[in-house]
Amino acid sequence: MELREQIIEKALLSSEVRSSVEKLKSLISEDFREIGASGANFSLKEVLECLPQDKNWSAKVGDFEFRLLADDVAQLTFRAFIKHDEKDEGAYSLRTSIWRNESGTWKMVFHQGTKVPPFKIAP
């Protein structure tokens, strides 16, 4: 499996990963920072507290773009439609994450979601 597919697979888009503190710790760097689509800032501590509690979260994603920024740093961008529960109308966003190879394991060091107008998602 090439690096692009490995990073997409690890992109914290499955409920299985999001609900497990151990799996999250294995994929997110200690110095992680996030700027959410709401504009709020999050660290690893906040992500580990919040994501496993978000049980009804779902996402439709597509339009993945991947680029290697350095031998040990990669960027993933994609579009997403995210709902936090069945009552939530959902929100469209453009997302980007920066991944770093830490001792042979690719971990997310930065993530940002930016709200955008509705769009069609291409797989």
Letter for the amino acid at 92? Y
CA–CA separation, 90 and 83 (whole Å): 4
pLDDT at 8: 87
pLDDT at 115: 95
Whether the pLDDT of residue 123 is over 80: the answer is: no
Instruction: Find out whether 7 and 74 touch, Cβ atoms under 8 Å.
Output: yes
pLDDT at 85: 82
CA–CA separation, 43 and 109 (whole Å): 10
Which residues make Cβ contacts (< 8 Å) with residue 91, sequence separation at least 6?
A: 37, 81, 82, 115
